[in-house]
Chain A
Amino acid sequence: MSRSHFFDRSELQKLYRYGCVLCTDPDDAYDLLQYAMEKYLQKPDSQKFRSKQHDSELSYVRAIMRNRFIDAYRKSVRFPEESYDDSSPVAIDETCLEDIVIAEIDLEIIWKKLDTFEREVLYYWAIEGMTAREISKHIDVPRGTVLSRLYRLRKKFEADDAQSTGDYAT
């Protein structure tokens, strides 16, 4: 039986951008993608989807990338180990980011200040169009944690917006 599927260029591009979300550095992202491709190609087709978590080949490769990233950067400040306070009684709405508007130049600045968790949630929300429940399934955290991150993201964008407004006012 021959290999049934390899990724086309648009899929590779998607995976690379996911790597950029994790690593921020484009070279690191490419290394991460290449590693994941090698692992993916080494596995027989029948072993590729071993859990309900990975419902597509893209999803499976993203999981390889994420696991590799966590292993490689576990001790690094780029991947914070402290968890959010998921039990905090915050009234969080899943659509809390929908009404935010931001200039691309401002996003580029704030993007560098976000940690990996936050960028990853933004990626799944904006690029893959996933709900909080779907994101939680893909990154293997409780839905409440995802909602908490969305809320913190909103706060960061609002703070950034307030600062920008203040800067322009002065």
Chain B
Amino acid sequence: MSRPLKQSVRNHLESYSLAEDQFRKLESLAKQAAPISTRQFSIFPFAVAGVVAAFLLAFFLSPLILDQNNVRERIAMEVVTNHIKLKPLEIETSSIDDIRGYFKKLDFMPVNSRLVDQFGLEIIGGRYCSLQGITAAQLRVKKPGTNTVQTLYQTEYRKNVFKDMPVLEDGDAPVDVYMKGVKVRIWVEKGLLFALTDLPET
């Protein structure tokens, strides 16, 4: 039976059909490909976000870290400079009570340090001083039976000036900074900032 060409072409092509198993194979291709596609697309935004976050952290934290390191170096420099000068003591005593009696113009109360005690050091005297512009007590300490004198600074811990420092009560370890061949150990204890020059035996 003759039909319009268009209809005959349609009928002819409709005689070609995919079988059920061919359909299933093609549909299984899509199922296999889907997880790969999802993974490719899901990782990308997280990777970009990670890179951006890392960049921002580095950008904003770097000045803070650099600034903190600068403060520690400035403290160490000031402490070592005065340690080398060894200016005369204004009071000579091994008693913390005498020290407190003498340093009445300070905004804080000088104290014994647990760490200094652990090193076996005892006070031999002190003088008024300042650290980074804040009034401080510059004490001299030595180990009994030796002649090596070390310098111990105590001053009020002002976070806006000294930034973040290790706090002994929080379980932090003191930070060591080397300046002019001298090691300076810096920490916070009992609300005061301490800076102690190098001990020969440590």
Contact = CB atoms under 8 A, between A and B. Distances in A.
B17 A13 contact: yes
A42 interface: yes
B16 A37 contact: no
Interface string B1-43: 1111110111111101110001101110110011001101110
B110 to A, nearest CB: 66
Nearest to A99: B4
Interface in B128-153: none
A3 B3 contact: no
A108 B29 CA distance: 33
Given A6-B30, A107-B9, A126-B9, A29 B16 contact: yes
Given A34-B25, A41-B33, A157 B5 contact: yes
A54 interface: no
Nearest to B12: A107
A33 B37 CA distance: 20
Interface in A103-152: 103-104, 107-108, 111, 122-123, 125-127
A66 interface: no
A16 B16 contact: yes
A17 interface: yes
9 contacts: A2-B41, A3-B33, A38-B29, A41-B37, A103-B1, A126-B5, A126-B6, A127-B10, A157-B5
